[in-house]
Structures are given as structure tokens and as C-alpha cells.
Amino acid sequence: MNEQLPLEGFTVGVTAARRADELSTILTRRGATIVTAPAIRIIPLADDTELERVTRQLVADPPQLAVATTGIGFRGWMEAAEGWGLAEDLRSTLASTRLLARGPKAKGAIRAAELREEWSPASESSAEVLDHLLAEGVEGVRVAVQLHGATTEWEPVPDFCEVLRCAGADVVPVPVYRWIPPEDQVPMDRLIESMITAGLDCVTFTSAPAVASMLMRAKETGLLEGVLHALRTRVLPACVGSITAAPLEELGVSTTMPARARLGALARHVAEELPRRANRIHAAGHELSVRGGCVVVDGAVRQLAPAPMALMRALARQPGRVVSRSDLLAALPGGGEDTHAVETGIARLRAGLGAPKVIQTVVKRGYRLAMDPAECVDNNPRPAVGGSVSPGRPPHPAPLAGVW
């Protein structure tokens, strides 16, 4: 018998614009079902008139100091300047400027351009760069700061440039890799719907702009509160790092992230966290785990049609509680008026689970999960197992993988 992959049975949303295929492939190899919905669209640098304007401005009036924040952003800036016929002018301008790199990737991009950084922090932290500049004093200093995204009400407070201005610097933001919402919003709308209807177990974010764009779309469609409730309770929000997580944390959503802000590390982290947080129900001698698109019964993945899956979710919200036929009818896709649809759906659910006794009929009242005696205390069902606080994170209630 083949060993079960760690993410088998789990459905994971991928919102990345760049390297989405790479992240999806890594997660798929670990058994996940992937739902892709690019949250942002990067404006091509060669077409970015604002970046070209700022570049020409810096060439005409060079800064005394420049900060490179990301490797890909700095390389992209140099490549765009090549297309505008400004590459040598920009390189000469930066060669006469004191260059700071936020981390090793930015440092590598600087050196690839045959330039040299003056200083780079060991922590790869913008805060440490800011502390360094404030310690040496920036009053009256013209500082160019390479940015990497537009700001919105949900992105981290753009205080780096503002703090420098307050310290007396003449700050010139360089808007590399600005973003706008995707042209086709249908995939994002479907992702949002899946979050609210418990069709997802986890959604991954690789940039703060992606978080902001998803929240903006949810607000536009009147679904923001539903999305936030899902992320706070049953859908695991996995972020590549703390900067990406900041917009959600500000809204009271407890996120999870790997120790290193890398794509591969994010995929491994998801593969560790989802199984650990998965809900588990013990009923009629079987162990069940209700997930985004299936039910795992005694370790075997059971794919269910939409109607039986909807009934299973309704029964699993309060394991062991009786759910009336009318409530189950309302839970069916499209609803309806004929309770016979519930009886048909329950029959299909029992067959799909391969464990008919898991669903118990309560005469004249409805149906419930046949919880094992050990799962009940004084006739009150125990809550499903799952959820914990990530190491080093604030003690917010952690979301559960699955639906409750």
C-alpha cells in the first residue's frame, strides 16, 4: 500500500502572480488539489511611465544615497532602463551614489550590474536599514528608495520613506513593480466563494499586494466579512513571511509562515501545518476528517459530489448534534423545497463515505453523526480536534483545516 502524501485530500488556493506554477507544482507533489487565482497583475516595467519619469529625474539630479530593497526589483529597474536607452546613465548615477542593499538578493543584483554596495544588514530587515540611516543622520540628504509595490489601506504602513522624511531627508521613491488587479477577476471571485463555502482548506500568499488585492475584491463584492470569518476560523492563511502577513494580522487574522521567507519553505510549511491542524471526528468506529473538497475516512480519501459534500459539512459543524431536514435542505446547493432531496443526498453520502453507520437517522427530527461514546461528555459532543498557535506567534485562536 502506497504511503499517503501529506496534503492528500486538502485543497489549497494559490494567489501568486509570479512563480505560481512553481508553487502549485511543489504543493501538488505533496498531494494537494490546487485552486489558482492570481491576485495581482504586475505592470510591465518597460511600459511604466512613472518609473521612467523617476529614472530620468534621478539621472538629471542624482541622489547622495540609494537603497535597493529587492533583487528582482533592482534587476528589473536596470533592464527597463536598458529599454529606455538609459542603462549607462543610470549605472553611472548609481556608481557615484552610496548604495545600501536590504539583503543578499539585493546585494547580488547590485553586483550583477557591476556596482558595489556600501553596506547591507545581516538580518535582511528594512528596520535595520532604517536604523542604520537614522544613526548616521539623513537631514538634507537626497535618498532614492527602490520600492516594490503600490500601497493600499491593507498593505503594511509604508513608514520607511515617511520616517526618512521626518528625519529631514529628501526622499525619492522609485516605484518598481507596481501592481493592479488582474484583468480577469473570475478566478479570484471563485477563490473567494470557495473560502466562504468551505471549499478551501488553505490559501497561500507570497506578497502583501496579493493580500491587499484579494481583500479589495472581497470588499467590492460585499463578501469581506465572510472572507475574514473564514480566515479566522476554518481556512488556514499561509504567508511567505511577516511583511506579507501584516495586512491580515492588522485585521485580527492569525496567519502561519515558515521560518525562512522562501517559496519552497512555504510549501513545506503548508505540508506540515495542514495535517497537524486537520479536524478529526470519531463516529461509529471510524475516524473522519472533513476537508475542502473531500472527506478522509480512516485514512482513505473519499471524493464526494457537491450535494453529499454540502450535507457532510452541515452535519460536521457540530458533530453529534441533530440537524433537521429543513436545515439540511437549506445547505444543499441551490436549496429547494422537497425534503426528499435530503433523503437522497444522505443515501449518497452514506455510500460515498463507505461507512453507512457514520450517519444516524433520528426519527422525526433529522440526522446526525453517530459520535463514539468517548467523544461525548455528559451527552455533549466534544469539539473536533485541531488548531494551535504557531511557534512565536501571538496566542490568537488558530484556524482549523476543514470546516466547522
Residue 377 has pLDDT above 50, yes or no: no
290-302 exposure pattern, b = at least 16 Cβ within 10 A, e = fewer: bbbbbbbbeeebb
Supply the pLDDT for residue 158.
54
User: Among 159-163, 281-285, 372-376, which range has the highest average pLDDT?
Assistant: 281-285
- pLDDT, average across residues 1-20: 87
Q: Are 80 and 48 in contact (CB under 8 A)?
A: yes
pLDDT per position as a tens digit, 327-346? 999 999 887 677 789 999 99
Determine the distance from the C-alpha atom of residue 87 to the mean position of all C-alpha atoms in its chain, rounded to a whole number.
Answer: 36
Query: 395 in a domain, yes or no?
Result: no
- pLDDT, average across residues 365-374: 88
Supply the pLDDT for residue 149.
55
Query: 104 in a domain, yes or no?
Result: yes
Q: Answer yes or no: do 171 and 188 share one domain.
A: no
Supply the pLDDT for residue 379.
40
Q: Are 227 and 195 in contact (CB under 8 A)?
A: yes
Query: 147 in a domain, yes or no?
Result: yes
Residue 394 has pLDDT above 60, yes or no: no
Determine the distance from the C-alpha atom of residue 195 to the mean position of all C-alpha atoms in its chain, rounded to a whole number.
Answer: 12
Residue 157 has pLDDT above 90, yes or no: no
Supply the pLDDT for residue 42.
80
Q: How many domains does the chain have?
A: 3
Alpha-carbon distances, residue 136 vs 36, 61, 144 (angstroms): 46, 23, 16
Among 125, 154, 179, residue at a domain's last position = 179
Supply the pLDDT for residue 2.
55
Supply the pLDDT for residue 43.
78
- pLDDT, average across residues 193-200: 94
Supply the pLDDT for residue 47.
78
Position with higher pLDDT, 381 vs 288: 288
pLDDT per position as a tens digit, 27-69? 999 999 999 999 998 877 777 888 999 999 999 999 999 999 8
Closest Cα partner for 205 from 275, 258, 273, 259?
A: 258
Grid coordinates of 123: 538580518
- Please tell me whether the overall predicted TM-score, pTM, comes out greater than 0.85 for this model: no
Q: Answer yes or no: do 256 and 366 share one domain.
A: no
CA distance between the termini of the chain: 31
Q: Answer yes or no: do 105 and 228 share one domain.
A: no
pLDDT per position as a tens digit, 62-107? 999 999 988 888 999 999 999 999 999 999 999 999 999 998 989 9
Q: Answer yes or no: do 245 and 228 share one domain.
A: yes
Residue 397 has pLDDT above 60, yes or no: no
Q: Answer yes or no: do 136 and 220 share one domain.
A: no
pLDDT per position as a tens digit, 174-184? 988 778 889 99
Which pLDDT band holds residue 207 (cuts at 50, 70, 90)?
confident
* Alpha carbons 323 and 346: distance in angstroms, whole number: 12
Lowest mean pLDDT among 137-141, 153-157, 289-293, 328-332: 153-157
Supply the pLDDT for residue 156.
47
Q: Answer yes or no: do 142 and 191 share one domain.
A: no
CB atoms within 10 A of CB 88: 11
Q: Answer yes or no: do 49 and 150 share one domain.
A: yes
Burial class (CB in 10 A: 0-12, 13-18, 19+), 190: middle
Q: Answer yes or no: do 238 and 156 share one domain.
A: no
Q: What is the CATH number of the domain that holds 369?
A: 1.10.10.10
Q: Answer yes or no: do 142 and 159 share one domain.
A: yes
Q: Are 317 and 327 in contact (CB under 8 A)?
A: no
Supply the pLDDT for residue 374.
63
Range of the domain at 317: 281-381
- Give pairs for 80-88: CB < 8 Å, separation 24+: 80/45, 80/46, 80/48, 80/51, 80/52, 80/55, 81/55, 83/45, 83/46, 84/46, 84/52, 84/55, 86/52, 86/55, 86/56, 86/59
Q: Answer yes or no: do 259 and 369 share one domain.
A: no
Q: What is the DSSP letter of 385?
A: B
Among 163, 179, 195, residue at a domain's last position = 179
Supply the pLDDT for residue 308.
95
Residue 378 has pLDDT above 90, yes or no: no
138-171 exposure pattern, b = at least 16 Cβ within 10 A, e = fewer: beebbbbbbbbbbeeebbbeeebbebbeebebbb
Q: Answer yes or no: do 56 and 87 share one domain.
A: yes
Supply the pLDDT for residue 148.
67
Position with higher pLDDT, 109 vs 389: 109
Residue 402 has pLDDT above 70, yes or no: no
